[in-house]
Amino acid sequence: MKTEMITLKHGDVSIKMPSSALAKLAIASVFAQVLPPAANVQPVAPSTIPEIGQPWPGQGGLNGGLVHARGDVPAHYLIIAATDVGSLEWGGRGVEVKGLSKTDGYTNTQVLIGNDDEREYPAANACAEYQADGHHDFYLPAAAELYHSWVNCPEVFAKDCYYWSSSQRSAYYAFSMGFDDGYQNDLGKDYELRVRPVRRFFI
């Protein structure tokens, strides 16, 4: 198919070009008139995301790093409370709680504090009650979330103890983690281990 050519004349000057090229020039000219000059475009504001392990103002704790989307949970930053809430039992020894996972600490905590077996789950309760910077959506992290924290910022946790996760191993055991070497183990639910709340910051 032969390309359609168009000839433009202005005074003694004559320009011959394909009609498609002329159309592109015309569109570019329109945008140049509508859009502001590049010099007037404001630069993108610098990132306000703090370094991993550093306090995140207004978010209730420290930046624990980006957690990629998984299942129904969109990508988010894990916010780690600045301090532990004590040493507490996991609770419910002898009961295998249904609906707990190794990755979703928020759902685990909701299941534990909303249980109807009349048993107490001190570690999960303490995290759910924790508040900082006006946020009241903290929870006991799952085993995978504790491991994520060890990979990103182990220095913000104590090294001489184990921390409870909200992930269950069996009716008598739940997963714990040591931040000196990243070792995950299952311990009796009646043990008193350190507890650190976390929350999610969706962006």
Taking only the tens place, the pLDDT of each residue in 85-95 is: 999 999 999 99
* One-letter amino acid of 93: R
Q: Give CA–CA dist 33/37, Å, rounded.
A: 9
- Asked whether residue 45 carries a pLDDT value surpassing 80, the answer given is no
Q: Which residues pair with 188 in a beta bridge?
A: 173
Question: What is the arithmetic mean of pLDDT over 96-117?
Answer: 93
**CA–CA separation, 13 vs 9, rounded Å?**
6
**Once rounded to an integer, what is the mean pLDDT over residues 41-65?**
82
Beta bridge partners of 87: 194
Q: Which of 64, 68, 114, 112 is nearest to 88 (CA)?
A: 112
User: Minimal CA–CA distance to 62: which of 185, 148, 169?
Assistant: 148
Q: What is the pLDDT of residues 111-123, one digit of tens each?
A: 999 987 678 999 9
**pTM for the full predicted model:** 0.77
